Structure 1
Amino acid sequence: MFARSRPSFQATAQAAKASLRAARVVASDETGVRIEGTNAQHWVFHCKDAVVHQPDYSRAARVVHETMGGHVPEVWISDRYSAQQSHGHRHQTCLAHLARDTAFALEHGEDDLPLRFQLWFGRVFDFARAISTFAASTVASKKRKFDKQLAGLLCAPTSCDLAQKLQAKIGRARDQLLTFCDYPGEVDVTNNTSERKLRPWVIQRKVTNGYRAMWAAQAEADVRTTVDTARLKGANPFQVIASVLA
């Protein structure tokens, strides 16, 4: 079935990729998958108008470069994985990942610094949820306040190894933590949307253990690209598939 329908879904997937390559804000993530008996990766890239799924044997930045075709968006959203860095003019690091690291340090550490970081993240998350309701001057003021608080936390003395590692990790991402404040309602503070778009692949991996051929993985990726992109516009998945195959 995939072999017969592949050309039709390839066309719609290419249209989605064209939209991605014109986007102002792009988010990405990846997860492991077995293809042809070897470890591979399933990547997802998305913007407000398109979702692109891309299987590849590599987890390197090359996949991003090939998918984006030279386009550099204004903002890139991802976790701290190195291959997903430096693809946009600015970057928003997923704060949910750092919040989880903070929770681990709080549970296993011997210092109250992780708790102070956790409270800071909580205030930022609360603000991010309501950011579109604030005036531009209020957003700018809040950003300065958060940055000042963060500076104090990053230079706070601590003898706990976990707290020191947490400080260093957050410090390396400091310039990427509050980017969302400059794009209210346009840039998410986390990369959870990317993770949700990968979830069906994770479930499939557990059920089927992967693909016997790369062409099959790419064919299904094109189908999911088509369906997920149409969902952004409120379309019914079954009707979308029927329309493409008609």
Structure 2
Amino acid sequence: MHLSHDDLTQIDEAVLQELEERALRALSVKLLADLKEAHERLGQNPSNSSRPPSSRAPWEGVVASEEVPDSGEQSPEETREPEDRDAPGRAAEETQEQETDRSSKRPGQPPGRAGHGRTQRLTVHEERHHHPEVCGLCGEPLTASHDTRAHSAHYMIDLILPSAEQAGLQVVQIKHVYQARRCGCGHWTAAQPAHQGPEDAWTVALSERHLAGPLLVALICALALRMRLSRRRIQEFLADWLGLSLGVATINQCVHEAGRALAPVEEQLLTEVRASELLHADETSWIENGHLLWLWVFTNATTTLFRIGRRSQDLLQGVLGGLFAGWLMSDGYWAYRDYDQRLRCLAHLLRKARGIEESLDRSVSGFGRALHEHLDALMESVYAAREGPPPRSLRQQHAAALNALFALCLAQAESQHAKTRALARELLNDWDTFWVVLDHPDLPLTNNRAERALRHWVIARRIGYGTRNAQGSRVFATLASVIETCRQRGHSPWLFIAEVMRERRQGRPAPVLPPPAAA
């Protein structure tokens, strides 16, 4: 760079007007060189520089909608001449045939090809026999006195948690044997694995007939969600440390099955979120199959709910609806304005004020400095009011400063500086929400609770690049909600997930979330 930060702060329109033509031309050459270099830096990405893929912004390289407008221009593939000039249409025909074959091919191996079964053989530690209770034909009770024969069986691998007698996890294999009994009427009735019925919103089954037991499913969820491991890394971990050979598809099925099992728990979370006296809300970008969505969080002192969807008023209304009557701490997204008892995060405002204060444009830096000073004084007054009642109300103490700041925002609402103009209008649009703490000093000044709740999952997004489909997004949000809520309440999320898996596989309702642990 030819011009330093200090140089640019001293250059404005008035200085340029006073320069002689020769000096102005020389300055223009420097500015042009600096501008080109800045554009080159801004244009750097993982595909044309040494920047790591994780530095790419979430919205870069994703599709905002599935509809792509037709520009009328030919693509490079359409304008390129075929390599075989003696047969001009052959290359295009071969390409079309290949694309047709690829699009018509169904996933999976062709019919008739030898399949792959489970090759790992583990010791059976326990056998559990299941018997039918009534005759499937006449309805008469069936007892041990009736003729019995084995009907079917399956193996389940599960874990035994550490105890005083044994340190570390223990892997066990349980053989479930389903018996058939013959009634006096001559009908054989066979016991069947318990399961939940199919649901239109889910493509994964929820059944007792599964290779992974409840605690093993909970461990896989912990590795996937809390430890942020990919399916391949989970497979490697289980093989290296527990001696288990599980396929990637089985591991993925475990995670999705846990999401379906926990789906009813979301209703409890939703009810508690809507009943909050103080709720923090925030959203961050999320990628689903290359499309840009948003990860929303709604959290209070004991409950956290995540949702993945569009950044829209419909999603917000779907979570809060017209039932929410508490205080809502949020950012400046316009959809939040439907709620009367709303307050804004002053930390966001403070960061924006610092940015304008440090601007190279001296004509607007004073606005940032005035806002920064006012926020510092206001926050100091609120902290003091929390220690003891002030001699007069905070609203009266800051009345003159607020009036001056309001006039300053009106003056900067049409500023030529884009960030200053945007901040001034933001303040004017949500004026009352910023100063609610003057009347209620006990309310929070920042939205740190929501930002902290999002931080772990933002890292997971950077590592895993989002989700692949709508079911994967729902599973991720559901598991994240249960994990965060259990941790807030001082309980193990993994034991709760295992308990839910156990009950739901038996066709019974999901247990309720545990209450907050006593301090």
Q: Cα distance, 1:11 vs. partner?
A: 2.3
Q: In structure 2, which of residues 358, 364, 367 is the aligned counterpart of residue 113 of structure 1? A: 367
Q: In structure 1, which of residues 60, 64, 79 is the aligned counterpart of residue 316 of structure 2? A: 64
Runs of 5+ consecutive residues of structure 2 not aligned to the other structure:
1-253, 503-519
Q: Cα distance, 1:139 vs. partner?
A: 8.6
Q: In structure 2, which of residues 459, 470, 479 is the aligned counterpart of residue 223 of structure 1? A: 479
Instruction: Output the CA distance in 2 between the equivalents of 1:66 and 1:130.
Output: 39
Give the conservation status (yes or no) of the 8 Å contact 1:46–1:52: yes
- Give the % identical residues: 22
State the one-letter code of the partner of 1:14: E
More helix by percentage: 1
Number of aligned residue pairs: 241
Give a deviation string over 1:56-102, Cα, whole Å, max 9, x none. 1x10111010111421323221111112222x222101111111111
Classify 1:107/1:21 alpha carbon distance in 2 versus 1 (closer, same or farther; 3 Å): same
Moved more, 205-214 or 145-154: 145-154
Q: Does 1:37 align with 2:294?
A: no
Q: Does 1:194 align with 2:469?
A: no
State the one-letter code of the partner of 1:148: A
Q: In structure 1, which of residues 187, 194, 210 is the aligned counterpart of residue 466 of structure 2? A: 210
Q: Which is higher, the Rg of structure 1 or of structure 2? A: 2
Q: Does 1:178 align with 2:430?
A: no
Give a deviation string over 1:105-164, Cα, whole Å, max 9, x none. 1011424332121111112233444543233xx296123222431211222467975496
Give the conservation status (yes or no) of the 8 Å contact 1:25–1:73: no
Q: TM-score, normalised by structure 1?
A: 0.86
DSSP 3-state at the match of 1:216: helix
Instruction: Output the CA distance in 1 between the equivalents of 2:476 and 2:383.
Output: 34
Q: Cα distance, 1:184 vs. partner?
A: 3.8
Q: Find the counterpart in structure 1 of residue 273 from structure 2.
A: 20
Classify 1:97/1:54 alpha carbon distance in 2 versus 1 (closer, same or farther; 3 Å): same
Instruction: Output the CA distance in 1 between the equivalents of 2:478 and 2:446.
Output: 26
DSSP 3-state at the match of 1:28: strand
Give the conservation status (yes or no) of the 8 Å contact 1:94–1:189: yes
State the one-letter code of the partner of 1:154: F
Instruction: Output the CA distance in 2 between the equivalents of 1:231 and 1:218.
Output: 20
Instruction: Output the CA distance in 2 between the equivalents of 1:239 and 1:127.
Output: 45
Runs of 5+ consecutive residues of structure 1 not aligned to the other structure:
none
Moved more, 1-10 or 12-21: 1-10
Give a deviation string over 1:20-70, Cα, whole Å, max 9, x none. 1112222211111111221111111122332110011x1011101011142
Give the conservation status (yes or no) of the 8 Å contact 1:17–1:67: yes
Higher relative contact order (CA 8 A, sep 6+): 1
Q: Cα distance, 1:192 vs. partner?
A: 2.1
Say what the alpha-carbon RMSD is for the aligned residues. 2.5
Q: Does 1:124 align with 2:378?
A: yes
Q: Find the counterpart in structure 2 of residue 6 from structure 1.
A: 259
Classify 1:164/1:52 alpha carbon distance in 2 versus 1 (closer, same or farther; 3 Å): closer
Q: Find the counterpart in structure 1 of residue 342 from structure 2.
A: 91
Classify 1:229/1:155 alpha carbon distance in 2 versus 1 (closer, same or farther; 3 Å): same
Q: Cα distance, 1:222 vs. partner?
A: 1.0
Q: Cα distance, 1:240 vs. partner?
A: 4.0
Give a deviation string over 1:150-184, Cα, whole Å, max 9, x none. 21122246797549624443233221112134444
